[in-house]
Amino acid sequence: MSRDYYEVLGVPKGATEAEIKKAYRKLALEHHPDRTQGDKVSEEKFKEINEAYSVLGNPEKRSQYDMFGHNFERMGINQDDIFGAQGTASIFDDLMGDVFSDFFGGRRNSRNRKVRGKDVESILELAFEEAVLGTDKEFTIKRTGVCSVCGGTGAKQGTKPTPCRTCDGSGQVYYRQGFLTVTKTCHACGGSGLEIQDKCRDCSGTGRVLKEEEISIHVPPGVDNDSVLRIQGKGSAGYNGGSSGDLHVVIKVKEHPVFKRDDQNIIVDLFITYSQAVLGDTIKVPTLYGDEDLRLPSGTDSGKEFVLKHKGVISPYDRRKGDQLVRVHIEVPKHITERQRQILKEFDEISVDEGKNASKGIFNKVKDLFQ
Ligand SMILES: [Zn+2]
Ligand SMILES: [Zn+2]
C-alpha cells in the first residue's frame, strides 16, 4: 500500500502549489540516484517522491487524490499517466533544468517503451492507361516483420531473454564526468536491456525477419508520376508491441507512344497530309475512351489545336475531368513518285500564277524591303 502522498513530500494537506514544489525539489535532489550511488532504499524513495509529486503537483490529479485517496487510480486514471516515464521526465526538465535531463532522457528510451516501426517506400510502375483510368494491383514487397518462430524475442524456442548483466536490464549505463552523471546506451544489449543466451536461428536473435508480402492496392484514377499512396500498417514492424509503420507506394507512370499528359489534359500530336490540311477531312483520333471523329476544316494550319472536351484525366482531388488537346502537324513526305512530283510542280506553277503561294509571297515581301 502506498504511503500518503502528502506524508511522502512532508507537506500539510492544505499546502500551496509553491510549497509542494519546493518540498519536492529538496527531496528529489537529496535522493537522486546521482548522489546515492545505487542505494536501493534511496532509489525506492526517489520513485515514491516522484510518484507523489506527479499527483500533488498537478491540480487536477491532486483534487481527485484528495477525494478518492489512492483508489483514484481506479477512477479511470491510467498508471502511465501518473508515473509514465515521459511524464516524470517533463516534470524533471521543468524543475531541474538540463542537468538531469540526460538521466531521464535515458528513461524515455527504456526497453519497455513502444516504438512505432519505420515507414517504408516501394515503387509501383503503371502503364499510362492504368494511371489515368485507375486499376487494382497486386505486387510483392519486402518488409521487416516480427519473427514468427520466437515471437520477436530473439530467443530460441522454449527459452526467454534474461536481463542484461552489463546494465542490469535498464538498457543504459551511467558514468560520472565531473559533477555530472552521463548516461549512454548499453553497448552489450544495444539498449534493449536484455541478453539472449540461445539465439533464435530464424532471426539470428534480432526478433525480426525480412518477409516478402503480397500487397493488393487500389489505384484511384488520375494518379500521376510521383504520386504517393499510403498504406497504413504495411511498413516495418514496431518494437515492444509498437504499431507497424506505413508503406508509401510511389507511382511511376510509363510513357505512352501516343498520349502525353499535362495535368488533367491529354495531348496528342496528329500528323495529316498537305492535301488533308488544304481540303479538310474527317479523321479518327484515338482517345483513352475509344476513337473519336475529328472534323478538320479546309485550310487547317499546321500547329492548330483542337479540343475534345472531357476526354482527359479525372483529377483525383476534385473529380474534374480534363480535355484532350489534338495538335495537328502537316507531314512532309520524304520520298515521292515521279507522277506526284509532276503534279506538285504543276500545282505550284498554278499557285504562283494566282499569287496564292505563301512562300513566294514572303519572298516578294523580302524583296520589297530592299527596293
Ligand atoms: Zn526469431
Ligand atoms: Zn545492457
Could you tell me the CATH number of the domain that includes residue 265? 2.60.260.20
CA–centroid distance, residue 194 to ligand 2 (Å): 6
Query: Angle at the Cα of 38 (from 34 to 41), degrees rounded to 5?
Result: 110
Question: Is residue 206 domain-shared with residue 136, that is, in the same domain?
Answer: yes
| 156 CA from centroid of ligand 1 (Å) | 7
Bridge partners (DSSP) listed for residue 291: 286
CA distance 300 to 307: 14
Query: At residue 131, what is the residue type?
Result: A
pLDDT at 178: 74
**Do residue 121 and residue 239 come from a single domain?**
yes
Question: How far is residue 352's CA from residue 323's CA, in Å, rounded to a whole number?
Answer: 41
Lowest mean pLDDT segment, chosen from 165-169, 263-267, 361-365? 361-365
At 79 the pLDDT is 33
For residue 172, how far is its CA from the centre of ligand 1 (angstroms)?
24
**Is the domain of 191 the same as that of 310?**
no
From the CA of 137, how far away is ligand 2's center (Å)?
Answer: 45
Q: Yes or no: say if 131 and 263 are a contact pair by the CB < 8 Å rule.
A: no
Cα of 122 from ligand 2 centre, angstroms: 35
Q: Last residue of a domain, which of 212, 239, 255?
A: 255
Say what the pLDDT of residue 76 is.
36
How sure is the predictor about 355, in pLDDT bands with cuts at 50, 70 and 90?
Answer: low
Ligand closest to Cα of 146 equals 1
Assign 63 a pLDDT band (cuts: 50, 70, 90). confident
Nearest bound ligand to the CA of residue 192: 2
Spatial separation of the C-alpha atoms in residues 58 and 344, rounded to whole Å? 96
Instruction: Tell whether 78 and 138 lie within a shared domain.
Output: no
Q: Closest-lying ligand to the alpha carbon of 162? A: 2
Is 300:255 a contact under the CB 8 Å cutoff?
no
- Mean pLDDT of the 323-335 span: 94
Residue type at position 278: V
The pLDDT score that the predictor gives to residue 107 is: 42
Ligand at minimal distance from the CA of 164 is: 2
Single out the residue of 36, 83, 90, 40 nearest to residue 61, CA to CA.
83
Query: Are residues 187 and 297 part of one domain?
Result: no
d(CA 36, CA 43): 8
- Give the pLDDT confidence score for residue 179 in this predicted structure: 74
CA atoms of 193 and 161, how far apart (whole Å): 10
Determine the Cα–Cα distance for residues 314 and 323; give it in Å rounded to an integer: 10
pLDDT at 306 over 50: yes
User: Is residue 327 within 8 Å of 303, Cβ to Cβ?
Assistant: yes
More confident residue, 36 or 133: 133
Question: Residue 42: phi, psi to the nearest 5?
Answer: -65, -35
Give the number of domains in the chain.
Answer: 5
Ligand 1 centre to CA of 341 (Å) is 81
Q: How confident is the model at residue 370 (pLDDT cuts 50, 70, 90)?
A: low
Residues 247 and 263 in one domain: no
Residues 308 and 265 in one domain: yes
Task: Work out the pLDDT band at 357, boundaries 50, 70, 90.
Answer: low
SS3 322: coil
Tell how far the Cα of 119 is from the centroid of ligand 1, in angstroms.
22
In this prediction, residues 38-61 reach a mean pLDDT of 84
Q: What is the mean pLDDT of residues 193-206?
A: 88
Same domain flag for 237 and 151: yes
- pTM for the predicted model, two decimal places: 0.56
8 A C-beta contact, residue 131 and residue 223: yes
Ligand 2 centroid to Cα of residue 182, in Å, is 16
Predicted local confidence at residue 255, as pLDDT: 95
- Tell how far the Cα of 247 is from the centroid of ligand 1, in angstroms: 23
CA distances from 61 to 51, 52, 64, 67, 140 (A): 12, 11, 5, 10, 50
Model pLDDT, residue 96: 42
Considering every ligand atom, which ligand is closest to the CA of 186? 2
Which percentage of the chain shows pLDDT scores above 70?
82
Pairwise pLDDT comparison (303 vs 61), residue with the higher score = 303
Residue 339 has a pLDDT of 95
Say yes or no to pLDDT of 182 above 90.
Answer: no
Report phi then psi at 230, rounded to 5: -100, 130
Ligand closest to the CA atom of residue 165 = 2
Q: How many angstroms separate the CA atoms of 225 and 253, rounded?
A: 5
Q: What is the mean pLDDT of the chain?
A: 82
Q: How many CB atoms lie within 10 A of CB 8?
A: 21
Q: For the segment 100-125, what is each residue's pLDDT rounded down to a tens digit?
A: 433 444 444 444 567 788 899 999 99
What's residue 43's pLDDT?
82
pLDDT of residue 108: 41
Task: DSSP letter for 297, please.
Answer: P
From 26-35, 186-195, 355-364, the region with the lowest mean pLDDT: 355-364
Q: What is the pLDDT of residue 90?
A: 37
Task: Identify the burial level of 176 via C-beta atoms within 10 angstroms of its C-beta, where 0-12 means exposed, 13-18 middle and 19 or more buried.
Answer: exposed
Q: What is the extent of the structural domain holding 238?
A: 115-157+202-255
Cα 44 to middle of ligand 2, angstroms: 21
Same domain, 310 and 240: no
Are residue 28 and residue 98 in the same domain, yes or no? yes
* Among the listed residues 272, 270, 265, the one whose alpha carbon sits nearest the alpha carbon of residue 305: 270
pLDDT at 223 exceeding the cut of 70: yes
Do both 220 and 304 map to the same domain? no
Identify whether residues 265 and 148 lie together within a single domain. no
Beta strands per DSSP E along the chain:
120-126, 135-146, 162-163, 172-177, 180-185, 194-195, 208-219, 228-231, 247-253, 259-262, 265-272, 281-287, 290-296, 305-308, 324-330
